[in-house]
Structure formats: structure tokens, C-alpha cells
Amino acid sequence: MAESCVLGCESEELKFQMEPSGNSLKKLERKMRKCHAVVEKETGIPCSTSNPTKNVVVCNSGLSNGLTEEVVMESFMSFGTLDRIIMLPGKSCCFVVFKNLANAKDAFEHINGKLKIAQDNKPILLGYSETLPAVRPIDFRVKPPGLKVVPDFISEAEEELLLSLVNFDEDEGGDGVMKHRQVKHFGFEFRYDINNVDKDAPLEVGVPAECDFLWDRLKSRGLDFRPDQLTVNHYKPGQGIPPHVDTHSAFDEPLLSVSLSSDIVMDFRHRNGKHLPVFVPRRSLTIMNGESRYDWTHGITPRKLDVVPSEKGITANERGVRVSFTFRRIRQGECECIYKSLCDSHRRKAEDISNEIAAKLESTHVHQVYEDIADHFNETRHKPWPNVLDFVLSMKPGSIVVDIGCGNGKYMGINKNVFDMGCDRSFNLLDLCVESGYNVFNCNCLSVPLRDGIADGVICIAVIHHLANEERRKQSISEMIRVLRVGGRALIYVWAKDQNYYRKSSYLKQNRKNRKDETDITEQDEIKFSFDRVTLPIHTNRKQFLHQDLFVPWKLLNEGTISDEFLRYYHVFEENELDYLVRTFDDVEVIESYYEQGNWCIVFEKVK
């Protein structure tokens, strides 16, 4: 480690404590015992000095003391190949796993009580552990959805060419150590003060024509892309960029980035707590689409070493100067994405329906309507969805299955070997269930009166599209997760805005009369209905949906004439919107999501 002392330490002597004498050895042992107890309390993992293992625990320093993976890597790697390093958020300990025992013992003997990398330059205290905290090893193959890294996209000659297009001032900052990366813009300037581009003020110099070979190459690989904006970033070792999302309203998708001169690890983070380090090699092309572009932040941690995958385990990769060319297309108009939490366009749009009004809207235009139409509803509902039946039938004997929003109990009593309980808001629909002999109770899907973790399966079919804002839709999902046991699964169906996703859904097919002119309804023709300051369009039955929030009429015919009409409130879902809501929660994993005849559907499992 002496040859690459990137920590700024002056000499090896200063970094190490002197060899302890007999008396202070006892003191050290006492301190270590104390630390071991703290580790066990913090992580539940016992550690000792008497039973050497491959797992070396740094007992008195971790992320909460400012110790970084980089420093740990640098301190331990010279003793042998490392399998993994486990840094625990908010904890004052960490775990270093060696490939073999002899190396672990070697490191222990040389470093314990001597190497001063703990807080305030104190020496670190070590231990051995039999087990490790339950965190998954970093898998560099796992990437955020929509992200692609194409290695060797350009040759070394092309790398030279691109580098020659921009001259960065090496002396900027005086002593040659700049605090921040340097940036140059082409086409449009990205203004960090407004976090956007001034779309009306293009720069004199556009994207250099020398880059054109890239677009031809992309085209030959099936991607038609021509950027009108380029940002060039110049990073010295130790420099980074904070986690950020490229402003939704500023740029279209995809975002493209070519990496020059040095490899790097980019950190992608999702709001549900997921963190995926992605290895981006020199001369590669990174393409960010969909979720990775809109719903994950990306950034570069300022440090001089990256922990990267190697054939044997992990290794440290020293950073060199890196230049990135990021190519983007300026977006015209507002962003229409479904990834709302990082979307500036969404934040500017009209506020969501407030909880107070949402509750009233649901009460009048959902609950009351189902009470009124319960009998007719019972006669006219479609056949059960085959995938819902399969889900219910897949439940093992003795399972407890909860049907949230069970309606007339269409999916109850199907699997004779499970105990199924149904619940619904509607008294009249539940009466129908009782007639069939099912176990039911009245409740709202926003607060399900069941104990935590009792259900092996939950189904919620055509229910949460009746909730009038996103907070309530999330709340209903959090209730499903709460009642599930770990390992239990839930299935949700909601109406899709796109009724024509694969082929005509049965809902549209029924519109025989209007089949030829699917798009003959324009927004001007629409009839609107106002409820307590909320004005929403009334949908024309058997047509494509033009809006996400709307009233859908339920019409009754009595002896040939229309006798009554009821307006039901619906929030119809965009593609991926249901996934987006479920992924908000970090204790579930999506098993599958699909489209079935006008519905978006998702199966997820509770994992912790």
C-alpha cells in the first residue's frame, strides 16, 4: 500500500500506532471486548478474537464515523484478495471478507489496534465473526431498468478525436487541485441556477460535426438519435458529481453518455432505498431510458478509488482523469412521464385532489353508486379473469387469502383448501357474498382491520382505481403489504387508460356501433361534471380513455328505456404506473406485471 498512498498521509509511521507493551495490551483487550459487544448490539452478530475466520470486523468505525469503503479497501487489500466489503448505513462498524483465512489473520495481526483510520485518527479495533449481516453482495450485473452500458463503443483513435474537441484549462484553480469538475456546453447551455436550459437561447456553437460518426453507428444498431445539446464534463481523480436526475422538462429520453480516458463507477439510487453501483468503462456508451432516466438519480462519489468487480472478487480501481460527453435532445413542452416523484413538470401541474375532497368524491361517486347498483352489478359482471383464478388456485392448502374489495365474491370459494376472507366497502355487495356463504366484513381498503403479517395471499381486483389521489392509492397498497406475511404474495388489477394495448380489449369490442370511428371523440365534445370544485370529464362508454381521472357512467335500462344513470369515479392507470406505486415500498419485490384485456396487473412478494 505504500506505493499508492492516495489518502494524503505523509508516512507509514504516522499512520500506525507503536507496538503495544504488556500493560497496554491488556487495555487493548478490554477495549476490544467492549467494541465486540457494541457490534453485537448494533448488528446482532457476535464477534471474537479467539476464533479466526475469513470475516474481519472493524468494530469501532464504519459509515457513521466517516469511514469509507475506499479507505477500508485501501487498508486491507495489500494483505490478500478480498471477497467483499460490507459497509452498513448508519453503523459504526463494517465487515471485510477475505478469500482465505491466512490473509484475514495476517491483516488482523498487522492492523488491529494500530492502523489509525478510526474517528479522530484513533486506531481501529478488529474482531472475527462467524456470520455476516444479511445484505446482498453488490452485483454489478444488476442495473436500473432502462439502463444500458455498451462497452468498447468507440476506438482509441475516436477517443483521441473527441478529446481534441475540448480543451480544459489544466491550471485553473492555481495549485492544480480543483475542487469541482469543469464543464463545457454545446448547442444549449444547461443553467445550473434554474436547473434547466433556456430553450429560446441556443448557443452559437452547436454539437460538433466530428461527433456525427456516433449517430451513424447508433443507427446501424437500430437507434435513431440526433442530439441538439452536448455537455462535456472533466473530472480529476477525487472529483465527483452529486446524485441528481437530469431535469425532466429540459431533456427528452434517452440520455447518452460517452466515457473517455478513465473507468468510473456511477451510483444509481432509487427513492425506495435501492442503490446500484454501475461500472462504466472507458470508451463505453451509456444509454439511459425509461425508469433509469426518470426515476433514479445518478451521480459519482468523489473519491480516488472505485471498488470494482474482478475475476476473483472485488478490487480497487484507481481513477484517472475522466472526460464524459453527454448528448441530449431538448424537450419541447412539458414532461408527460409517469415517474412523478422526480418530475418537475408534474410538480408544476395542478395539485392532486386533496384528501378531504377525495374522500367525499369516493363516498358519493364510488361507495354510494355500488350500493345502488349492487344487484345489477351482480348480474352483469364479466367472467372471472383467468390469471386471478390461477393466482388463487396457486395458494397452498391451509393458506389465508384476503380479497380486498371482494365485491360480490367472484373470486371467493374457488380454492377449497384455503381460508378466504373478503372485505368490501359496500353493504349490498357483501350481502350477496353472505348469500353464497363466504366470510366477509365491511371495511375501507385504506384501513384493513386485520393483524399484520397474517395473509399468505392478497388479491385486490378492480378496486384501487376508485381511489381519488395517489397518496390514497399508495396507502391501500401499504395496507396489502402490512397484512401479508414475509414471502406472501399480492395480486392487483386496475383499469388501464390504454384499452387497446395489445389488441382490442373486450371493453372496446362491445362497442360494435362505434367500432369504425374510435377517435371521433375530441376533448371539445366532452361533457363534464363538477363535484365540489373538482370538474372531471364524463367518459363515453366503450371508447378509449382520454383522461386519467374521470367519471364512467353506469346506465340502467328498464323496460326499454333508461331508468337511471350513475357516475362512478375512476383513475385509469398509465403503463408502468402500478409498478411505480408498488416500487415505492422497499419491502416488496415485483414478481411480474402484465396487461390483460384493458387492465394493468401486478404480482408482488413481501420480502422483509
Where does this chain bind other proteins (CB under 8 A)? Answer: 359, 364-365, 368-369, 372, 375-376, 379-380, 396-400, 417, 419, 421, 423, 425, 427, 430-432, 434-444, 446-451, 454, 510-514, 527, 529, 540-542, 553-558, 562-567
CA 189 to chain centre: 29
Question: Across 236-329, where does the E strand assignment appear?
Answer: 241-244, 255-260, 264-270, 275-280, 285-288, 296-300, 305-309, 314-318, 322-328
- Separation of alpha carbons 53 and 47, rounded Å: 10
Residue 255 interacts with Zn ion (CB under 5 A)?
no
Of residues 446 and 464, the one with the C-beta less far from other proteins: 446
Of residues 373 and 603, the one with the C-beta less far from other proteins: 373
Residue 335 interacts with Zn ion (CB under 5 A)?
yes
Of residues 310 and 417, the one with the C-beta less far from other proteins: 417
- Smallest distance from other proteins to CB 452, Å: 8
Binding part of the chain for Zn ion, among 62-70, 177-185, 339-347, 354-362 by CB under 5 A, reads: 339-347
Backbone angles phi, psi at 40, to 5 degrees: -65, -35
3-class secondary structure, 173: coil
Is the four-CA dihedral 393, 398, 404, 410 of positive or negative sign? positive
Binding part of the chain for Zn ion, among 247-255, 354-362, 395-403, 563-571 by CB under 5 A, reads: 247-255
Contact 601, 491 (CB under 8 A): yes
Of residues 290 and 537, the one with the C-beta less far from Zn ion: 290
Contact 284, 214 (CB under 8 A): no
Contact 431, 387 (CB under 8 A): no
Q: Which residues contact 398 (CB under 8 A, 6 or more apart)?
A: 417, 418, 419
Question: 272 is in the binding site of which of Zn ion, other proteins, none (Cβ under 5 to 8 A by kind)?
Answer: none
Contact 393, 386 (CB under 8 A): no
Beta bridge partners of residue 47, listed in sequence order: 129
Candidates 248, 270, 304, 472; binder of Zn ion (CB under 5 A) is: 248
What kind and span of H or E run contains 48?
A: strand 47-48
Question: 275 is in the binding site of which of Zn ion, other proteins, none (Cβ under 5 to 8 A by kind)?
Answer: none
Q: What angle do CA 577, 579, 581 make, to 5 degrees?
A: 70
- Smallest distance from other proteins to CB 514, Å: 7
Contact 321, 238 (CB under 8 A): no
Question: 343 is in the binding site of which of Zn ion, other proteins, none (Cβ under 5 to 8 A by kind)?
Answer: Zn ion
Residue 337 interacts with Zn ion (CB under 5 A)?
yes
- Smallest distance from other proteins to CB 439, Å: 5
Question: 265 is in the binding site of which of other proteins, Zn ion, none (Cβ under 5 to 8 A by kind)?
Answer: none
Question: 157 is in the binding site of which of other proteins, Zn ion, none (Cβ under 5 to 8 A by kind)?
Answer: none
- Smallest distance from Zn ion to CB 574, Å: 12
Residue 477 interacts with Zn ion (CB under 5 A)?
no
Of residues 130 and 375, the one with the C-beta less far from other proteins: 375
- Separation of alpha carbons 53 and 127, rounded Å: 9
Q: Which residues of 507-543 are buried (b: 16+ CB within 10 A; e: fewer)?
A: bbeebeeeeeeeeebeeeeeeeeebeebebbebbebb
Question: 567 is in the binding site of which of other proteins, Zn ion, none (Cβ under 5 to 8 A by kind)?
Answer: other proteins
Of residues 172 and 564, the one with the C-beta less far from other proteins: 564
Of residues 113 and 409, the one with the C-beta less far from other proteins: 409
- Separation of alpha carbons 79 and 408, rounded Å: 67
- Smallest distance from other proteins to CB 557, Å: 4
Of residues 95 and 370, the one with the C-beta less far from other proteins: 370
- Smallest distance from other proteins to CB 506, Å: 13
Backbone angles phi, psi at 149, to 5 degrees: -120, 115
Of residues 207 and 508, the one with the C-beta less far from other proteins: 508
- Smallest distance from other proteins to CB 501, Å: 21
Of residues 314 and 343, the one with the C-beta less far from Zn ion: 343
Closest CA to 565 of 320, 419, 373: 373
- Smallest distance from other proteins to CB 603, Å: 22
Closest CA to 307 of 456, 457, 110, 96: 96
Residues 197-236: x where in contact with Zn ion by CB under 5 A, - otherwise, as a string: ----------------------------------------
Of residues 24 and 341, the one with the C-beta less far from Zn ion: 341
Question: 548 is in the binding site of which of Zn ion, other proteins, none (Cβ under 5 to 8 A by kind)?
Answer: none
Q: Angle at which helices 69-76 and 101-111 pack, to 10 degrees?
A: 100
Question: 443 is in the binding site of which of other proteins, Zn ion, none (Cβ under 5 to 8 A by kind)?
Answer: other proteins
Is the four-CA dihedral 117, 120, 126, 131 of positive or negative sign? negative
Distances (CA, A) of 378 to 56, 140, 383, 432: 64, 52, 11, 8
Residue 343 interacts with Zn ion (CB under 5 A)?
yes
Indicate the residue type of 347.
R
Of residues 144 and 488, the one with the C-beta less far from other proteins: 488
Question: 337 is in the binding site of which of Zn ion, other proteins, none (Cβ under 5 to 8 A by kind)?
Answer: Zn ion
Dihedral angle of Cα 8, 10, 12, 18, to the nearest 10 degrees: -110
Of residues 330 and 454, the one with the C-beta less far from other proteins: 454
- Smallest distance from Zn ion to CB 295, Å: 9
Residues listed for the chain: 608
Binding part of the chain for Zn ion, among 19-27, 259-267, 334-342, 395-403 by CB under 5 A, reads: 334-342
Of residues 122 and 376, the one with the C-beta less far from other proteins: 376
- Separation of alpha carbons 122 and 59, rounded Å: 12
- Separation of alpha carbons 124 and 93, rounded Å: 10
Question: 57 is in the binding site of which of other proteins, Zn ion, none (Cβ under 5 to 8 A by kind)?
Answer: none
Question: 81 is in the binding site of which of other proteins, Zn ion, none (Cβ under 5 to 8 A by kind)?
Answer: none
Cβ of 238: how many Cβ atoms within 10 Å?
15
What cell was used for 97?
471478507
Residue 331 interacts with Zn ion (CB under 5 A)?
no
- Smallest distance from Zn ion to CB 604, Å: 24
Which residues are at the interface with Zn ion (CB under 5 A)?
A: 248, 335, 337, 343
